[in-house]
Structure 1
Amino acid sequence: MFAKLLTMASIAILAVATPTPGGGGGSVSGSCSTGPIQCCNTVQKASDPAAAGILALLGIVLQSVDVAVGLSCSPITVIGVGNGGSCNANAVCCEDNSHGGIISIGCVPVTL
């Protein structure tokens, strides 16, 4: 019985975390195919002086200065670990979250 319950819970979590096809346009309805949804204090273009300064300090070169980046980000998880499943700043899905929460690159807003 426990194994059956565990299997059903795993399927439910995967269903929530899997994006729906045909999406686009910015609002992803709580899903993110690149990792956990991030809660960022600010989201701005890479050309903004604050973002450009952090990118330069980290040695990150982007092909476009129009890319949206999130600053001071932390993950929001499906089960409520992290920020408790909510975000009072900017909930975003980012292409690159590999910079320790300092900056996330290629972000688009999501609806929680």
Structure 2
Amino acid sequence: MFSRVAALTLVALPLLAAATPLDVRGGGEPASSCSTGPVQCCNSVQKASAPAASTLIGLLGIVLQNTNVLVGLTCSPITVIGAGNSECSAQAVCCQDNSHGSLISVGCVPVTL
């Protein structure tokens, strides 16, 4: 399992570097409205149909009903809500599915910290 994740990470890194993220900083719902798990800080947030995201989704075998859903790439949980943007210098989101490690989070909505 570890080697599969490591291989996917190596394959995904060049794709992430070439991705065109949506700028969702500074807007969205309050972080307190996130009921699906911890607020995530993602390096990039984009539609699932974007080339980098769709390639990663395919490699991981994730099946989506809607390719217009936002996904967060290379995310980590934010531990202190209310600390402003000091906890997340990238894009803060609340996602429906954080079960794919830090590589991708699915069904994201921008949040304000």
TM-score normalised by L of structure 1:
0.69
Contact 2:30 2:111 in 1 (8 A): yes
The amino acid that maps onto 1:46 is: A
Q: Assess if the C-alpha contact under 8 Å between 1:97 and 1:103 holds in 2.
A: yes
Cα distance in structure 2, aligned partners of 1:33 and 1:106: 13
1:36 maps onto 2:67 in alignment: no
- 1:41-52 residue pairs with structure 2 within 5 A? 41-52=43-54
Contact 1:91 1:109 in 2 (8 A): yes
Q: Structure 1: 5+ residue runs without aligned partners?
A: 1-25
Alpha carbons 1:76, 1:85 under 8 Å: kept: no
SS in 1 for 2:99: coil
Q: CA deviation at 1:30?
A: 1.9
Highest relative contact order (Cα 8 Å, sep 6+), 1 or 2? 2
Q: How many pairs were matched up?
A: 84
In 1, Cα distance between the equivalents of 2:81 and 2:64?
A: 33
CA RMSD of aligned residues (A): 2.0
Unaligned stretches of 5+ in structure 2? 1-26
Moved over 2 A (4+): none
Normalised to the residue count of structure 2, the TM-score between the two structures is 0.69
Given that 2:71 and 2:104 are in contact with CA atoms closer than 8 Å, whether structure 1 keeps it comes out as: yes
Contact 1:76–1:86 at 8 Å: present in 2 too? yes
Q: Which residue of 2 aligns with 1:22?
A: none
Question: Quick one: distance in 1 between partners of 2:57 and 2:67?
Answer: 11
- Structure with higher strand content: 2
